[in-house]
Structure 1
Amino acid sequence: MLSSALKQSMALAVVMAVLAGCSSTSTTDSGGMADTGPVSTGTASGVDLSSTQVVEEPMPELNTVFYFDFDKSVLKAETRAELTAHAGYLRTDPRPIRLEGHGDERGTREYNMALGERRAKSVRDFLVLQGVDASLIEVVSYGEEYPAVMGTTEAAYSMNRRVELK
């Protein structure tokens, strides 16, 4: 069953990578004729680029919080799929990121700091294996210090066992 989930995740990642690589603009008009006319310097599609300010596009809306099972730092299948999409964008548009590891309040502070670090490093290692430059990734552990949800229920604990990509 795990093998099947892994195969599905990898197939999804490949499809997402192909779709990301296929994003281009058409050079045909509504009549199906290709635009083969000359383009002067400083213009593209009739827009003067000399007066246009270049604005860096933000990363697309992807999940930036990844959850873990109790006392684990192993990535879930859905997390791997989401991180594969992040890796695709970070390869084409490298930028520094910070991975913040967290744990729930069970266990000692020292243990939760170490667990948060292991979780963040597992995310980092996966991104690096996907081709992201390791020098752009900062790993930080907050342990149990910054819970996302207050409370002593399993639902609250599960929301606090996370890594946040910032």
Structure 2
Amino acid sequence: MRHFPKVALIASAAVLLTACSSTPKLTETPVVEKTPTPVAQGEPTREIRPVETGSVDPLNDPRGELANRSVYFDYDSFVVREDGKPVVAKHSGYLTKNTGRKVLIQGNTDERGGTEYNLALGQKRAEAVRRAMTSLGVSDNQLEAVSLGEEKPKATGSDEAAWAENRRADIVYQ
């Protein structure tokens, strides 16, 4: 009789569990076939028109030709490289057509060199881009050239790839 309470407890748990279980009833839902309603002739439909992009300012197009606003330089140089000349030309063309726009050209350097040297080199780079733009017809009063030296790096790191990315002049529209 010592095991009777344990056996009774197990038996009552088994009865309780079997009493709670239920079998789901499966009922078949009849399939209703719908035939499409024919469209009456002459009903108005929406006309789809292409978006006009002629009025969008090309300066705001992230994939446009004016999206690149950096002109890169070789080490210790302020001569506009060949790969930078198309960038200067495209922005110059935009500025000659939009004489109300102004640009701040920010000359930058990599981290090598002293502060004063880098500020002077950054100014020479900004001035080189400014001169190139004025030679392409941009009004001098649309352009301002400043140096940031090494204070505004585009890339972090102390390797040739980072330094090359930081030797640049940025064209900033105002």
Percent identity over the alignment is: 39
Give the residue type in structure 2 aligned to 1:86.
Answer: H
**Aligned partner (choices 73, 80, 83) of residue 88 of structure 2:** 83
Give the residue type in structure 1 aligned to 2:72.
Answer: Y
CA distance in 1, matches of 2:90, 2:154: 24
Give the residue type in structure 2 aligned to 1:149.
Answer: A
CA distance in 1, matches of 2:98, 2:58: 10
CA distance in 2, matches of 1:90, 1:111: 31
Question: Alpha-carbon deviation of 1:85?
Answer: 1.4
CA distance in 2, matches of 1:107, 1:66: 20
State how many pairs are aligned: 112
Question: Alpha-carbon deviation of 1:57?
Answer: 2.5
2:111 paired with 1:110: no
**Residues 142-161 of structure 1 correspond to what in structure 2 (within 5 A)?**
142-161=148-167
Give the residue type in structure 2 aligned to 1:125.
Answer: R
Structure 1 consecutive aligned stretches of length 4 or more whose deviation exceeds 4 Å: none
Q: Deviations over 1:114-157 (max 9, x none)?
A: 00000000000000000000111111101011111111101110
Question: Alpha-carbon deviation of 1:56?
Answer: 7.7
Q: Secondary structure at the match of 1:164?
A: strand
> TM-score, normalised to structure 2's length?
0.61
Q: Any gaps of 5 or more consecutive residues in structure 2?
A: 1-54
Question: Alpha-carbon deviation of 1:58?
Answer: 4.8
CA distance in 2, matches of 1:138, 1:88: 17
Q: Say what the alpha-carbon RMSD is for the aligned residues.
A: 1.4
CA distance in 1, matches of 2:76, 2:103: 25
Matched with 1:42 is none
CA distance in 1, matches of 2:92, 2:57: 16
CA distance in 2, matches of 1:57, 1:84: 17
Matched with 2:143 is 137
Matched with 2:70 is 65
Matched with 2:26 is none
**Residues 94-105 of structure 1 correspond to what in structure 2 (within 5 A)?**
94=99, 95-105=101-111
